[in-house]
Amino acid sequence: MKLTIGSRGSELALWQAQWAKDQISGIFPDAELSIKIIKTEGDKILDVALSKIGDKGLFTKAIEDALLEGSIDIAVHSLKDLPTALPGGLCIGAVSKREDQRDAFISLKYNSIDELPQNAVVATGSLRRKCQLLNYRKDLNISDIRGNINTRLRKLESENYDAIILAKAGLVRLGMDNVIRQTIPEYIILPAVSQGVMAIECRTGDTNINMILSRITNNESLYAVTAERAMLKTLEGGCQVPIGVYTKIENNEIILDAMIGSLNGENIIKCCMKSDVNDSEELGYKAGTELLNRGGREILSELRNNV
């Protein structure tokens, strides 16, 4: 069996592609596996804030096109980059065990968000993080930042930022968690939908590949991201809308804390719901509807007029 794995070219993306390769090799040792690097639109446009260029498929469309054309057989993504509506003919064949879903605070001078001085400059490319940071600390100055993990870490020093915020999962996977000063508690910043989970995307008609990938899937992650993505779909949001969620699974029960907020952080709506894990998708729809009914519709309308 020969399989070509499609991936972005960043260090983290290639780590993820290698993870998929190792998982498949563990099941089929004789499989011939190769990795093909594909440059996405998000990799080409580095001098514009994500919120200004739209986000749906920005880091995935070129790879999905290759999958549909047949030049690759599977694609590996950070699941948080995948829109909730996939192109016709494609599906998520497997999801990984979840790494810590929370965000990480990184600074050369300070150990936590609370230690930051008045009017400190914090860099992030995420409206979700900006919204929640400003809600917690109105005095902070938020600066936009783009680039892969190493680029952002270099900018921490070269741009003289007081701190940057990154997803903890990527740092852990690359063995760079020594730079983390604080794992940000979820009461300060709720993570992105599906943060910390990798996904393997494939063609719906490839029965053998789907069967292989089903043996890789982590069921606990699947329950969690099913709820989170259902919530996101209900809110019609992408990664550049201030939507956050933190999901726990305990005793076969899924507990979901979610938020949607205004760009300036002045208006944040939250909800907390739980259900049996087998009802995770319904839980996500209910959470999304609850946020909309509490004022989320007005926030989304305002965002569409301002972003």
Query: What is the Cα–Cα distance from 280 to 159, expressed in whole angstroms?
Result: 43
Q: Give residue-wise pLDDT tens across range 113-150.
A: 999 999 999 999 899 999 999 999 999 999 999 888 99
> What is the β-pairing status of strands 90-95 and 198-203?
antiparallel
Partners of residue 103 on adjacent β-strands: 167
Query: What is the Cα–Cα distance from 227 to 234, expressed in whole angstroms?
Result: 11
Which domains does the chain show, CATH number per domain? Answer: 1-96+197-217 (3.40.190.10), 103-183 (3.40.190.10), 218-307 (3.30.160.40)
Q: Give residue-wise pLDDT tens across range 183-240.
A: 999 999 999 999 999 999 999 999 999 999 999 999 999 999 999 999 999 998 655 6
Instruction: Please give the model's pTM, rounded to 2 decimal places.
Output: 0.92
With a CB cutoff of 8 Å and minimum separation 6, the contacts of 170 are 12, 78, 149
**Sheet with strand 253-261: strands edge to edge:** 243-250, 253-261, 268-276
Q: Which amino acid is at 272?
A: C
Q: How many CA atoms lie within 13 A of 94 on its CB side?
A: 23
Residue 40's pLDDT band (cuts 50, 70, 90): confident
**pLDDT at position 42, please?**
64
- Tokens of residue 216, six digits: 């890789």
Residue 84 reports pLDDT greater than 70? yes
Q: Give residue-wise pLDDT tens across range 57-79.
A: 667 889 999 999 999 999 999 99
Active site residues: 81
